[in-house]
Structure 1
Amino acid sequence: MENNKLDQGYIKKKNLHLVLKLIKTNKSISRADIVKMTNMSPTSVSRIVGNLIDLGLVRETETYSKGVGRKAILLEINLKSILTVGAYINKHIVKAGIVDFGGGILYEEKIESEIDKLSYDKIINIVCELIKKVINNSGVDESKIVGLGISLPGIIDYSTGNVLMSTQLKWKDIQLGRCVEEKLGIKTIVDNDVKVEALAESIYGVGKNIEKLALISFGRGVGSALIVGGNIFRGTTNIAGEIGHTTIDPNGALCPCGRRGCLQTFIIEDNIIAEANKVKKTNSLLEVFEYAHNGEQWAVSIIDRCLTYMCITINTVICMYNPDTVVIKGSLIKAFPDMPRLVEEKLENLTWDQLKGSFQILQSQLGSKAHIVGGATLALNTFCDFD
């Protein structure tokens, strides 16, 4: 009897989430359309919609008619019914923003500085003060904020909010989630930045309605994440997707992780600039691309090698996960408009024949906003319970 009650409770909650997702995805939808799309009974749909309206998450809007007969009332999400905060920490920037129930950023601010040169305590203070400032300046009703999601590069214990290792921030075994939650009094979840970006793209970006999406970020590091059925594939210890640390050459260049010859050492922005400086004074990634565009052979060679290893990365992810879609993003993609085209051209010769035509390559739609939207969405999914 006890198990039966639990099963019924699970099914009710699952159906509620399904109806809510349909209303969010379709913007405006009628009860009758929900019945058709879910195969639930009209009575069940009406009850669930009534619950969502009572909770303030959904509201009725205008009526419409497809023909003769009774007009249908349309339903839409009440965007400001629930709010979450998304924050992002990297070696050169801290960002935070308020995100509404539909994934829209209502207000955001950032601080650009050499964050990685500061002590842990100072970074935490900067993060917390920025979040407070964002909440105060946004003018939102603070009581509607249900949680905070923080993302950063590194290995994260998702269940505890602890940062096990972040080479970019030079952190090890930091209880970030607990510390921020105590300072702000907001429920806090912490996760890897690429996983959070992939989640955002799968819900609000180019990955909408895609069953299996892989996101690969090329920039100051190389990371990937897989979304299956709207959920992050984490692996046993939340390290799934750390493809940048697969070994390519055991005697190769030293990686910030402490090992030699990691894949990302052939691709990352800092190494490309360092390689360019062996030939010509170079201050930025953009300059390397400009030299290549102007026909300077040494720069063409550097970019071509970088492209090759980017395509090796993509092919490896495709072989491992067999996704419908691969989303590429990061400073290497952003710096050079032709990069996506060049990637696709070179990938044609590096992709296993059995996988050709089975996937599409897309660019990120959310760009740098994915960190804030993804962190906030993670907080929403973690802390918003409809009991």
Structure 2
Amino acid sequence: MKKHDQDVMKRHNRRTVFELIKKHHPLSRADIAKRTGMSPTTVSRIAFELMEQGYLSESDQAAASTGLGRKSTLIGLVNTAVLSVGIELDRHRASIGILDLQGSVLCTCKLARQAEESPEETISRISAAIEELVQRNAVDRTRIIGIGIGLPGIINNDKGDVVFSVQLGWKNVRLAERLTELTGIRTAVDNELKAKALAEHLKGAAVGSRRTAILGLGSGVGSALILEGEVYRGGMNSAGEIGHITVDPGGMMCECGKAGCLQTFINIRSLLSEAGKVRRVHKIEEIFAAREAGERWAVHLIERALTYMAIAINNLVCMYNPDSVILCGELPDKFPEIYGEIEALCSSHIVWEPLRGSFRIHRSELSEWGVVIGSGLLSQNRFFQL
């Protein structure tokens, strides 16, 4: 039992040192010891082990002189020591990227997907696309330690199963198991906004925030919450499915099978469906163009959607009291002018008065590659935990 406890402590210390260097590198051994509270001997041993494994290196640059007139060598991360594949899977596409240890995207590709594709067909095509991306960019495949996939829906992130995804029409799909079989690379799966939340916390708009809510607005409506640096998941990893909160029991039918879900007033598919009652439209851009031209039906449709977006923010703020709310997704990415309109609605009358001014609304800093980055970092985290 004592040996087991010692092994656990060693692994914990190694991960603490590694994560500290990853976040703040380069650092001297003395600085690491000071920040972690570990002895200089322990820090030196861990640093040596991690350098032997190729994750860290000593730089020629020297740290500031000590009181004894000596200079200490700085330790930094070897960014390409390991690589990972990050994937965002949605109704009509898969976006794929290969990331280094810092979460920088080295190369990418996009794969068009038909809504009626079977899970097996989609998974096989993703496997082939990964291999093509590796070959085309001469990536050292032996350095790829994992694949991470973010997609909309309820995900069993421990097993990597898609429990239910309305947007994809998938139910009980063993995604991680099947992609691992095809590629030979360990695969992790999570809800796409939880993956993006991880990316925003580590590299984007949520850096330094203690309580951040992320609201995704596009083909669906969802949210994720970061509390003290950790993604809040709930009992079934389904926390944040705000799009399926019932706001009007007599409202429009949602593709989930219920009537009056919040997302039926906001998401692109519902907006196109409602617009189709007036005239035939194929793209969301046509509705915004009609609004710009002053067509009454389009003005009403978009302003109603913006109001419900502000209502979604109010609900998140009332439930979780975040210090930051990050807006992301296809709608704010394509139409950045809606940020100001949503903020105005929140500050004027939508958000409960005692909570106005208690949070800030941010744009995602990672735009369309946020889920890819978060998914790739998720697979790296799994690898280093193991």
Q: Deviations over 1:18-57 (max 9, x none)?
A: 2222222223222232233333333332222222222211
Letter in 1 for 2:146: G
Q: Is the 2:33–2:43 Cα contact (8 Å) retained in structure 1?
A: yes
What are the within-5 Å matches in structure 2 for residues 176-195 of structure 1?
176-195=175-194
> How far apart in 2 are the matches of 1:50 and 1:209?
30
Indicate the SS of the match to 1:384: helix
For 1:172, the equivalent position in structure 2 comes to: 171
> How far apart in 1 are the matches of 2:65 and 2:364?
36
> How far apart in 1 are the matches of 2:66 and 2:289?
59
Indicate the SS of the match to 1:127: helix
- Structure 1 range deviating more: 195-204 or 47-56: 47-56
For 2:84, the equivalent position in structure 1 comes to: 84
For 1:278, the equivalent position in structure 2 comes to: 277
For 1:71, the equivalent position in structure 2 comes to: 71
- Structure 1 range deviating more: 234-243 or 137-146: 137-146
> How far apart in 1 are the matches of 2:33 and 2:156?
40
What are the within-5 Å matches in structure 2 for residues 138-177 of structure 1?
138-177=137-176
For 2:48, the equivalent position in structure 1 comes to: 50
> Structure 1 length as normaliser, TM-score?
0.93
CA shift, 1:5, in A, is 4.3
> How far apart in 2 are the matches of 1:178 and 1:110?
22
> How far apart in 2 are the matches of 1:234 and 1:337?
29
> How far apart in 1 are the matches of 2:52 and 2:205?
32
Q: Deviations over 1:199-248 (max 9, x none)?
A: 11111111123222211100110000112233221110111100000111
Letter in 2 for 1:344: E
Indicate the SS of the match to 1:117: coil
For 1:19, the equivalent position in structure 2 comes to: 17
- Structure 1 range deviating more: 354-363 or 171-180: 354-363
CA shift, 1:306, in A, is 0.8
Letter in 2 for 1:251: G
> How far apart in 2 are the matches of 1:261 and 1:177?
33
> How far apart in 2 are the matches of 1:17 and 1:57?
12
Letter in 2 for 1:329: C
Letter in 2 for 1:328: L
For 2:359, the equivalent position in structure 1 comes to: 359
Across the aligned residues of Structure 1 and Structure 2, the Cα RMSD in angstroms comes to 1.9
Unmatched runs of 5 consecutive residues or more in structure 2: none
> How far apart in 2 are the matches of 1:8 and 1:210?
34
Q: Is the 2:113–2:122 Cα contact (8 Å) retained in structure 1?
A: no
Q: Is the 1:97–1:107 Cα contact (8 Å) retained in structure 2?
A: yes
Q: Deviations over 1:306-354 (max 9, x none)?
A: 1110011111111212222211111111222211111111111222233
Unmatched runs of 5 consecutive residues or more in structure 1: none
CA shift, 1:67, in A, is 7.6
**Structure 1 residues 5, 324: CA separation in 2 closer, same or farther (over 3 Å shift)?**
farther
- Structure 1 range deviating more: 297-306 or 74-83: 297-306
**Structure 1 residues 39, 120: CA separation in 2 closer, same or farther (over 3 Å shift)?**
closer
Aligned residue pairs: how many? Answer: 383
For 1:223, the equivalent position in structure 2 comes to: 222
Q: Is the 1:146–1:384 Cα contact (8 Å) retained in structure 2?
A: no
Letter in 2 for 1:262: C
What are the within-5 Å matches in structure 2 for residues 247-266 of structure 1?
247-266=246-265
> How far apart in 1 are the matches of 2:231 and 2:63?
38
Letter in 2 for 1:32: A
Q: Is the 2:15–2:384 Cα contact (8 Å) retained in structure 1?
A: no
Indicate the SS of the match to 2:139: coil
Indicate the SS of the match to 1:122: helix
Q: Is the 1:94–1:110 Cα contact (8 Å) retained in structure 2?
A: yes
What are the within-5 Å matches in structure 2 for residues 1-387 of structure 1?
2=1, 4-61=2-59, 62-65=61-64, 69-114=69-114, 116-348=115-347, 349-385=349-385
> How far apart in 2 are the matches of 1:118 and 1:204?
33
> How far apart in 2 are the matches of 1:358 and 1:212?
12
> Structure 2 length as normaliser, TM-score?
0.93
> How far apart in 1 are the matches of 2:8 and 2:317?
34
**Structure 1 residues 67, 287: CA separation in 2 closer, same or farther (over 3 Å shift)?**
farther
**Structure 1 residues 98, 338: CA separation in 2 closer, same or farther (over 3 Å shift)?**
same
Letter in 2 for 1:276: A
Q: Is the 1:106–1:138 Cα contact (8 Å) retained in structure 2?
A: no
> How far apart in 2 are the matches of 1:88 and 1:337?
21
Letter in 2 for 1:47: R
Letter in 1 for 2:151: L
> How far apart in 2 are the matches of 1:324 and 1:17?
29
